[in-house]
Structures are given as C-alpha cells and as structure tokens.
C-alpha cells in the first residue's frame, strides 16, 4: 500500500485531553502526518503551552478549551472550532480520569465523576462532531479504550466499567454511522509510561508486576501508540470499523 494512504495533510484533527501525556503524543503524531491539530482540555494555560511546543516544531496547532462532560460547552466548543477551521475530519476521544479506591469505599460523587469524563465525554464530543461528518459523508472517530475494556482489576471498578462502556459505544457507533462513511474504532493502551502513572511506575512491586504480566516484559511508551492512531485516522483504515486495537505488549492476549 502506498505511503500516501497514511497521509493526513489538510485534515482537521481534534484530540481531547491533549495538554499532556497520551493525548499530546497522539496530537503530535497526527501533526507529523500532516494534520491540522486542535488540542482540547479544560486548562487554557496548559493547552497553550502544549500548542506552543508543537508550533515550535513547525506544526499547525490550535486550542479549544472546554469540559467534555458538559454538553452545552461541547456544542459551543465544536462549533467554534468548525467556524475557524471548517469540518473536523478526525476525532480522538482521549480525555479521561482515574480514581483508585476499594469498591466498598467508593463514593457516589467519585463514581459519577469517573463516568462523566470517561463515558459521557466520549458520547457528547462524538455526537457533536458526528453531525458534521454525516453531512460530509466522511470521518474518523477514535475512542481511547484500555486493557480494562477487557479485563478487571481491584480498586478501579468504576474506571473498568467506564472503559467497557467505551468499547461497546465504539461498536454501536460503528453499527449506526458506518453507512455514512464514518469509521469508528478504538485504541486500547496497556500500561504506558505517562505523568499520570508516575506513582505506579515508581512502585517497585507494582512495576515488577506490570513487567511480569506483560509478555513484552516492560511498560509501553506513549510514542508507541502513535502508529495505531495514524493508521486509524488515515485512508489506510477506510474498511476498518468497530475494531478495538490493543497496544499493550500482548497483555490481553495472555494469562
């Protein structure tokens, strides 16, 4: 297949939760493939700092600060982006939060907060962006799932429930939107070295468990998610739909 099948030149790509970590790495990867990238988050200062770093590398970058869990803010934010740049051709739903507490101690407030960002946010942003994609009969939506979309682990029951929901939302969106030439897929990261995982990475016992549990024998790097994101954003994946691509060093393939 010609390399032009992975070319994103001229495509507008919105990446939620992209002021740092996985979201920023994916945004950089799409920009390197030619996309015009719009970074999203709630903190305007952090977004602008991330945007300046990408612009310094020669990339076309804009920012859109809004809370993905607030439906009206999402509608206004998407409308503003499309007014400035035209239609959004690629959406990566990356915004998410984690909260670790034993199941019996999880408060209702904490439970709903995890669902609001990790599930509601995916729904609201995809809905707002999909309307334009349906009109244009083209689009790519990539939802960031997790190995917890398939597996369970103690102390993160609401997160696991949320990521399972995102997996099934991805499949249902495919069933409804594929006829409009919209491809909706997911990426399921394994244990990845990010700022949010520093406490786990420096926990010798936990880190040893990750390395022993993962067939590749190590933590993943954020850059190792980029290839999957570029593939699922590009014409190379035009007949791939409703699929969850696990980038996990083999964790979900083994016991």
Contact 215, 147 (CB under 8 A): no
Q: Round to whole Å and give the CA distance between 96 and 39.
A: 14
3-248 folds as Rossmann fold (3.40.50)
Which are the contacts of 153, defined by CB distance < 8 A and separation ≥ 6? Answer: 160
Q: Round to whole Å and give the CA distance between 229 and 91.
A: 10
- 250 sits in the region (left: phi over 0; alpha: psi -120 to 50; else beta) called left
The DSSP letter of residue 96 is -
A 10 A CB-CB count for 83 gives 8
Query: Catalytic pick from 66, 123, 159, 231?
Result: 159
Q: What is the pLDDT of residue 4?
A: 78
CA gyration radius, the chain: 17
What would the mean pLDDT of 176-181 be, rounded to a whole number?
A: 98
* pTM, rounded to two decimals: 0.96
Q: Round to whole Å and give the CA distance between 21 and 16.
A: 11
Output the six-digit token pair for 37.
């990238």
Maximum C-alpha span of the chain:
54
Q: What is the pLDDT of residue 3?
A: 62
2 or 235, higher pLDDT:
235
Q: Is 159 a catalytic residue?
A: yes
Residue 160 pLDDT exceeds 50: yes
Per the listing, tokens 């083994």 go with: 254
pLDDT tier at 199 (50, 70, 90 boundaries)? confident
Percent over 90 (pLDDT), the chain: 96
What would the mean pLDDT of 102-118 be, rounded to a whole number?
A: 98
Per the listing, tokens 């199941």 go with: 103
Residue 1 pLDDT exceeds 50: no
Interstrand relation of 244-247 and 182-189 (parallel, antiparallel or unpaired):
parallel
What would the mean pLDDT of 168-186 be, rounded to a whole number?
A: 98
Q: What is the pLDDT of residue 196?
A: 81
Q: Round to whole Å and give the CA distance between 147 and 222.
A: 15
């Amino acid at each position: 297949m010609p390399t032009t099948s992975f070319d994103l030149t001229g495509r507008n790509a919105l990446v939620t939760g992209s002021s740092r970590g996985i979201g920023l790495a994916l945004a950089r990867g799409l920009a390197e493939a030619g996309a015009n990238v719009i970074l999203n988050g709630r903190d305007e200062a952090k977004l602008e700092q991330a945007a300046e770093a990408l612009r310094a590398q020669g990339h076309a970058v804009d920012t859109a600060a809004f809370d993905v869990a607030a439906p009206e803010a999402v509608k206004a934010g998407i409308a503003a982006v499309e007014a400035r740049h035209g239609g959004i051709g690629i959406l990566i739903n990356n915004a998410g939060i984690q909260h670790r507490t034993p199941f019996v101690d999880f408060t209702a407030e904490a439970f709903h907060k995890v669902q609001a960002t990790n599930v509601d946010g995916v729904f609201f942003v995809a809905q707002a962006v999909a309307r334009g994609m349906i009109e244009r009969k083209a689009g790519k939506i990539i939802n960031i799932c997790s190995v917890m979309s398939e597996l369970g682990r103690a102390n993160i029951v609401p997160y696991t429930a949320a990521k399972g929901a995102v997996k099934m939302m991805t499949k249902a969106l495919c069933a409804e939107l594929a006829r409009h030439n919209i491809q909706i897929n997911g990426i399921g990261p394994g244990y990845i070295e990010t700022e949010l995982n520093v406490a786990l990475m420096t926990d010798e016992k936990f880190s040893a468990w990750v390395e022993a549990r993962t067939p590749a024998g190590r933590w993943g790097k954020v850059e190792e998610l980029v290839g999957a994101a570029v593939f699922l954003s590009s014409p190379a994946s035009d007949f791939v739909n409703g699929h969850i691509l696990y980038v996990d060093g083999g964790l979900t393939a083994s016991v």
